[in-house]
Structure 1
Amino acid sequence: MAASMKADEAVSTLYHWAGGPQRGLSARFSDVTDPATGEVTARVPLASEEEAAAVIATAKAAFPDWRDTSLAKRTRILFAFRELLNARAGELAAIITAEHGKVLSDAAGEVARGQEVVEFACGIAHLIKGSATENASTNVDVHSIRQPLGVVGIISPFNFPAMVPMWFFPVAIAAGNTVVLKPSEKVPTAALWIAELWREAGLPDGVFNVLNGDKTAVDALLTHPDVKSVSFVGSTPIAKYVYETGTANGKRVQALGGAKNHMVVLPDADLDLAADQAVNAGFGSAGERCMAISTLVAVGDIADVLVGKIADRAKALRTGDGRRSCDMGPLVTMAAKERVTGYVDAGEAAGANLVVDGRTGDFDADGKGFFVGPTLFDHVTTDMSIYTDEIFGPVLSVVRVDTYEQAVELINSNPYGNGTAIFTNDGGAARKFQNEVEVGMIGVNVPVPVPMAYYSFGGWKNSLFGDTHAHGTDGVHFFTRGKVVTTRWLDPSHGGINLGFPQNA
């Protein structure tokens, strides 16, 4: 699946998807690399404004029929997609590892978490049903309904090529919308693989489309009058741009931005558990997660012991090709590697204590991959760039504070509010924390508090632009709009006789 347009080319050329594969015509391409080796593996076309308009037109043309397709038929297609994805999840995980670099087990976990949203969307019939009131006034009935928007755009980041798009498109499609997905040009193949799987599941052509590209494609989704909503996940500056541009053009927008997630460890916590989870949350997927823990806040006199435990675990991690028996893979591009090592240089120059240095080491890979090993700083202060900026790499900073109150103030004064965690055996402290902290997603002895699909995902402050979160009931409401119908019928009517058992169709 997701084969190149010319299978005999040494470097494959990818395509757009609009009712099927569509060759890129703009003459603009971007290289796709294998992060573990540094080799170029494909070229992805970067759409022109005209190509973007053509893909959007395909989605618009497919909308009326899909909108009018019964919920029963829509749901059957979603179930078929679910079954195909379960059977072939390993294929998608391998694609993710080849283009993003995360280890295969992590890629498989990403697919599984995305599949949760597919399963949630299979229950869409219950979630979009309206309500009714008989005799709201004399002989007058009132009922409400929810209807799809039309063409919806999804702009997806590189770090979760499958899971993040699946936060949105299963709900959007189940609700009767048609989708144009713009994946990151760094990791485009997963989206094309998913498009082919939808076709195999029986989804009509034009309902799910893939528009490859750069800012030109993004701006097309934000400004084209036929696109009714845009869902975005990425860095905060771009999220703000997406939100402001999209809303200025009359669209619904949910734009999830960046993060600086803190993990508070209280003196009564199980320090071995805390150390394990700090390593898992700080270095999983090479730190390229918007929910990664990048700052550990050690409260009281536990810091020396805790830092030692984390350092021992970090040094034991094996970094290399994600297809091998490694704990952590490479960063996605050479530019990402240079950005992260630049922050490590800056932290060292600013006076933070570099406990574990990941800039060099023995990496289990062939070629020149984009590797940075686990990196641990201690005695970090809030004026250092390794604290203030979202590094998006395997860099964990330890900040020391004396009291719980100082820890909460540190988090609440941060401009981001995506996720946070507290590690403690004190239920009262945990309850106080979840009440007082100004963050959208909170974990208690859970370092990466990504909610299940039937809840909604999203942060506060500069981590979210727009008032609607992803998936869950928020997602259903985002991809539908309500109507209220008031009716009066003066004369009854009668249908014909049919003794057969009624069936959905």
Structure 2
Amino acid sequence: MDLQSSESTEPQMLPPRPGRFASRDQMIEHVGDFGVSQGYVVTIKHSKKDIYVLLGCDRGGKYRDRRKNPETDSAESSRTQKSRSRRTNCQFELYGRKEDGVWVLSVRNGTHNHEPMKDLSEHPACRRFKDDEILQIKEMTEAGLKPRQILKRLRKKNPELLSTPKQVYNVKAKLRSGVVTAQKFKCLRPLKGPNSSFQTPAATEATWRQRLFPRVPNFIEGSFLDSQSSATIDVINPANQQVVYILPITTIAELKAAVFAAKRAFDSWRNTPVLTRQRIILKFRELIHRDKDKLASSIAREVGKTLKNSYRDVYSGLEALDLACDAATSDMGQFVSSVANGVDVYSIREPLGVCAGMCLSNLSAIIALWMFPLAVVYGNTFILKSSLKDPGVCMMLAELASEAGLPNGVLNIVHGTDDIVNAICDDDDVKAISVAASKTYGMYVFSRASPKGTRVQNYTEGSSHVVVMPDANVDYTLNVLVGVAFRAEGERCFAVNTVIFVGDSKSWESKLVERAIALKVTAGTEPDADVGPVISKQEKERICKVIQSGIEKGARLILDGRNIVVPGYPHGNFIGPTIICDVTTDMGCYQEKIFGPVIMCMQVKSLEEAINLVNECRHSNGASIFTTSGASARKFQISIETGQIGINVPVSVPMPFISSTHPEASFPGQAGSQFFTKTKTVRQQWNEFPMEEEAGVPILMD
């Protein structure tokens, strides 16, 4: 055995494989993780944001003694020292460049001139500040202390701290930009393996939500990435007008990166066993149930819904997840044996690829959970465009999905206006779009996306009519009307705004007013709130104008909630329960969807007249009848043309497997298996074919 050659052999450190990444941070993180596993530390040598980044090897920050020894300072020894000096940079070099919205990594030089580090925890980068130290730096900075003074106090508590005043200064700069977590100051990632001695402290809450006014990031390939857009929208709490979030509008390049990430993740995700996909969704459901309080509070704060309704939205989303957990195995293909001589025929359902969804503001949690869990459990990847008025819920769902084990790139979330919607419709890699919007907007998405073969599914918003027969149970009917018209602030897609009384309505009016006045109007975050604010000041002004237009046309106002004063919330977008009577079909208040806590009472002489009135309404997508007559209920069920019908119950939010649109629309709601999968039919024959000189091969004849 040659001991000399054995000692000179250095362990080989491999470079990361070249590839394409959705973002700069994701590329750097990948390179850093791989380098740590090989025993070297990657550092940024040079960078120009959004253009390129040059990465090199950090040899550990250890330099030889630069003091010269006159006795040995000869030309030969100088050359030897120079070649062995740690001042000579490692030639390892990687290059990343942004091309068409995607970062491309290439290896310029994959070799090193040093041995792997045996203990990465000794690297100075591992001695950076912890979360509690960063908070102390923030407090001491606000108190006026200089970096050297701050570092001196920190070292009293942690004598092993190796950080420098320059690093304190860098932390202060980060703090000014709103970052308050140690993860942003780490240049090393935790080692991948059970024997790792270096661990990065996990953040208990997403960084973006720890800022004073959180800037909502995109969620692309498993990472929360700040948008480079300068165009932003303030997400306002409708109860007090305070800024909850700052929402940047996703750029087209960022959307392309999200689509690329989803497309890249599709092949591995579709080949993931269906039981594994189901287990991830089951875990996701468990985490949502665990954090239901946070989700409900977020809905109440951003949209203005009461906590009761916010919890109801979360539970409706959990019901959609129940369907998704069972969908992939319950809807299997078909098999027909021996359709011809030795020929079997069977069909299988396969995922489409990259799918997209667009959320409504009034049902953000429900709509999101209708869409992406069902799509991904069938093997698709998903791009979710959040609502501009309440993006926080979607981002919380993204955090929980990652915690549940959903692979990077399977779910991506962007934010935007019409430009992003158009870009999603025009992208050839998007195979299906599920949109929750008005019928007009849904038709626009359909007309733009469908010509190139993209599937479009629409959950339409609208209003519901309630027909009250003279024989209806009075107390039960009134309790239902108050609940579905006022307690949801009138903002649900199937909220009741129009009540049609067959016969005289006078006997109902006073009792309806009595129950409406008893409701408490306050901020949705208050536990005892019955009616919360409407979602924006513009929406409040529009609702008030619609009410006034009906009064000017002759409608009778028996309860006016437009000028209600809510103690403690003088600037809130509050409208109290409002009741308008003697409404006719030619009034603007009837022709326009109100989306507010308003009931319009109409009177007709017969059930036939009530049915015709409902069928002629352009924005009705549901209707209910309250009666004790089975004959009236049956006639109503047969004659009504809306997509949702209730008999002695209000029309509720539908589940994904039930159509929720007008039956004459071009894109009725479909079962998830039909919309998010495609059918493939296979014919097979496995006969023992005779030799060529014998009889010919049998064929299937029509």
Shorter chain as denominator, the TM-score bin is over 0.9
Structure 1 residue 281: deviation in Å? Answer: 1.2
Match of 2:580 among 377, 387, 392: 377
In the alignment, the residues of structure 2 paired with residue 70 and residue 456 of structure 1 have an alpha-carbon distance, to the nearest angstrom, of 27
In the alignment, the residues of structure 1 paired with residue 666 and residue 335 of structure 2 have an alpha-carbon distance, to the nearest angstrom, of 33
In the alignment, the residues of structure 2 paired with residue 334 and residue 466 of structure 1 have an alpha-carbon distance, to the nearest angstrom, of 33
In the alignment, the residues of structure 2 paired with residue 300 and residue 418 of structure 1 have an alpha-carbon distance, to the nearest angstrom, of 24
Count of matched residue positions in the alignment of Structure 1 and Structure 2: 484
Query: Relative to 1, partners in 2 of residues 1:118 and 1:400: Cα closer, same or farther, differing over 3 Å?
Result: same
**Structure 1 residue aligned with 2:678:** 481
Match of 2:489 among 258, 268, 286: 286
Query: Relative to 1, partners in 2 of residues 1:452 and 1:213: Cα closer, same or farther, differing over 3 Å?
Result: closer
Structure 1 residue 465: deviation in Å? Answer: 4.3
8 Å CA contact retained: 2:465, 2:620: no
8 Å CA contact retained: 2:654, 2:660: no
**Structure 2 residue aligned with 1:122:** 325
| Paired AA for residue 420 in structure 2 | A
Structure 1 residue 417: deviation in Å? Answer: 4.1
**Structure 2 residue aligned with 1:444:** 647
8 Å CA contact retained: 1:417, 1:459: no
Match of 2:220 among 18, 23, 27: 18
In the alignment, the residues of structure 2 paired with residue 203 and residue 461 of structure 1 have an alpha-carbon distance, to the nearest angstrom, of 35
Structure 1 residue 362: deviation in Å? Answer: 2.7
8 Å CA contact retained: 1:4, 1:13: no
Match of 2:393 among 190, 196, 203: 190
Query: Relative to 1, partners in 2 of residues 1:407 and 1:359: Cα closer, same or farther, differing over 3 Å?
Result: same
In the alignment, the residues of structure 1 paired with residue 258 and residue 356 of structure 2 have an alpha-carbon distance, to the nearest angstrom, of 11
8 Å CA contact retained: 2:661, 2:668: no
8 Å CA contact retained: 1:401, 1:407: yes
Match of 2:660 among 458, 466, 480: 458
**Structure 1 residue aligned with 2:240:** 37
Secondary structure of the residue aligned to 1:122 is helix
| Paired AA for residue 277 in structure 1 | V
In the alignment, the residues of structure 2 paired with residue 2 and residue 441 of structure 1 have an alpha-carbon distance, to the nearest angstrom, of 41
**Structure 2 residue aligned with 1:221:** 424
In the alignment, the residues of structure 1 paired with residue 668 and residue 562 of structure 2 have an alpha-carbon distance, to the nearest angstrom, of 40
Match of 1:69 among 261, 272, 276: 272
Secondary structure of the residue aligned to 2:462 is coil
Q: After superposition, give the CA deviation of every residue in 1:28-87 in whole Å (9 maximum; x if it has no partner).
A: 111011111111121011012111111111111111111111111111111111111111
Query: Relative to 1, partners in 2 of residues 1:135 and 1:334: Cα closer, same or farther, differing over 3 Å?
Result: same
**Structure 1 residue aligned with 2:669:** 468
**Structure 2 residue aligned with 1:81:** 284
Match of 2:600 among 373, 397, 419: 397
**Structure 2 residue aligned with 1:52:** 255
| Paired AA for residue 489 in structure 1 | W
Q: After superposition, give the CA deviation of every residue in 1:180-220 in whole Å (9 maximum; x if it has no partner).
A: 11011110010010001001001101111111111121111
Alignment of 1:275-354 (within 5 A): 275-301=478-504, 303-324=505-526, 325-354=528-557
In the alignment, the residues of structure 1 paired with residue 407 and residue 444 of structure 2 have an alpha-carbon distance, to the nearest angstrom, of 33
Structure 1 residue 243: deviation in Å? Answer: 1.5
Match of 1:272 among 471, 475, 479: 475
More RCO (CA 8 Å, sep 6+): 1
Secondary structure of the residue aligned to 2:487 is helix
Secondary structure of the residue aligned to 2:471 is coil
| Paired AA for residue 344 in structure 2 | D
| Paired AA for residue 117 in structure 1 | A
Does 2:376 correspond to 1:179? Answer: no
Unaligned segments of structure 1, at least 5 residues: 493-505
In the alignment, the residues of structure 1 paired with residue 550 and residue 367 of structure 2 have an alpha-carbon distance, to the nearest angstrom, of 31
Structure 1 residue 468: deviation in Å? Answer: 3.2
In the alignment, the residues of structure 2 paired with residue 355 and residue 121 of structure 1 have an alpha-carbon distance, to the nearest angstrom, of 46
In the alignment, the residues of structure 1 paired with residue 586 and residue 541 of structure 2 have an alpha-carbon distance, to the nearest angstrom, of 22
8 Å CA contact retained: 1:132, 1:143: yes
In the alignment, the residues of structure 2 paired with residue 491 and residue 188 of structure 1 have an alpha-carbon distance, to the nearest angstrom, of 61
Q: After superposition, give the CA deviation of every residue in 1:429-481 in whole Å (9 maximum; x if it has no partner).
A: 1111111111111111111333456x41412168x541334xxxx12210001
8 Å CA contact retained: 1:415, 1:461: no
Structure 1 residue 93: deviation in Å? Answer: 0.7
In the alignment, the residues of structure 2 paired with residue 238 and residue 202 of structure 1 have an alpha-carbon distance, to the nearest angstrom, of 34
In the alignment, the residues of structure 1 paired with residue 430 and residue 531 of structure 2 have an alpha-carbon distance, to the nearest angstrom, of 39
In the alignment, the residues of structure 1 paired with residue 426 and residue 274 of structure 2 have an alpha-carbon distance, to the nearest angstrom, of 30
TM-score, normalised to structure 2, is 0.67
Does 2:307 correspond to 1:104? Answer: yes
Structure 1 residue 258: deviation in Å? Answer: 3.1
Query: Relative to 1, partners in 2 of residues 1:155 and 1:365: Cα closer, same or farther, differing over 3 Å?
Result: farther
Query: Relative to 1, partners in 2 of residues 1:125 and 1:256: Cα closer, same or farther, differing over 3 Å?
Result: closer
8 Å CA contact retained: 2:503, 2:603: yes
**Structure 2 residue aligned with 1:497:** none
Structure 1 residue 367: deviation in Å? Answer: 4.7
In the alignment, the residues of structure 1 paired with residue 560 and residue 630 of structure 2 have an alpha-carbon distance, to the nearest angstrom, of 36
| Paired AA for residue 79 in structure 1 | L
| Paired AA for residue 300 in structure 2 | T
Q: After superposition, give the CA deviation of every residue in 1:238-257 in whole Å (9 maximum; x if it has no partner).
A: 12211211212321001233
In the alignment, the residues of structure 1 paired with residue 635 and residue 568 of structure 2 have an alpha-carbon distance, to the nearest angstrom, of 46
In the alignment, the residues of structure 2 paired with residue 329 and residue 394 of structure 1 have an alpha-carbon distance, to the nearest angstrom, of 9
In the alignment, the residues of structure 2 paired with residue 340 and residue 417 of structure 1 have an alpha-carbon distance, to the nearest angstrom, of 18
8 Å CA contact retained: 1:321, 1:365: no
Q: After superposition, give the CA deviation of every residue in 1:282-321 in whole Å (9 maximum; x if it has no partner).
A: 11321011100110000013x0111221111111111111
Does 2:619 correspond to 1:416? Answer: yes
Structure 1 residue 125: deviation in Å? Answer: 3.0
Does 2:589 correspond to 1:386? Answer: yes
Secondary structure of the residue aligned to 1:42 is strand
In the alignment, the residues of structure 1 paired with residue 669 and residue 603 of structure 2 have an alpha-carbon distance, to the nearest angstrom, of 35
Secondary structure of the residue aligned to 1:5 is helix
8 Å CA contact retained: 1:318, 1:363: no
